[in-house]
Structure 1
């Protein structure tokens, strides 16, 4: 995560208007409406896993931890993501669960 943040800082300095627009879009997309922010972040996690974006997975897992997503909610979402995405999504769901446990200090090496 730290390496990604460093790379993004460099890119942001080079393209500040792009990052400003992207950040504004993110704030607008995450605003509570018919769907709450947690639901939106679970959707984003599904897309991150489906597109196999390690950095995106980390950012959205971190947001879900901030939003107090329980491990049970998290694993239920991972099951749906795996169902929709097949084998590659199962592998990247395992990465997401590892990140969740890292960010929460949860059970390392335990199975669901």
Structure 2
């Protein structure tokens, strides 16, 4: 099972086991994504950097897929991930494994 599948299972469980918390959280994040002038591709690239900083394997996978679905190139995704390394140092570099895995699945 890959990281995106693990995330989907986790989110599915949140829908059934967390009452109104999960739907309210989804509504909140949807509202934020529609709030300002930043397009969805750029938002996903920002999410990649944040996912790297948070060291969340599932988030990295989901947001790389999201960025690609909104037209981000392999090079743009790599740069977003590398910017996180610039801010977070070598511990964040170890999470490039998940970036490389996802890019290989999507682009190679």
Compute the TM-score of the two structures, normalised by the length of structure 1: 0.81
86, 94, 105: which is aligned to 1:91? 94
51, 62, 86: which is aligned to 2:54? 51
Quick check: 1:38–1:64 contact (8 Å CA) kept in 2?
yes
> Are 2:26 and 1:35 aligned?
no
- Output one character per residue of 1:7-58: Cα deviation in whole Å (capped at 9) or x when no partner: 3212210124111111111211222632211112111111111111111111
- Tell me the SS of whatever aligns to 1:31: helix
Quick check: 1:65–1:100 contact (8 Å CA) kept in 2?
no
Find the counterpart in structure 2 of residue 110 from structure 1.
none
Gaps of 5+ in 1: 108-112
> Are 2:80 and 1:70 aligned?
no
Name the count of aligned residue pairs. Answer: 105
Quick check: 1:81–1:93 contact (8 Å CA) kept in 2?
no
> Higher relative CO (CA 8 A, sep ≥ 6), structure 1 or 2?
2
Find the counterpart in structure 2 of residue 79 from structure 1.
82
Gaps of 5+ in 2: none
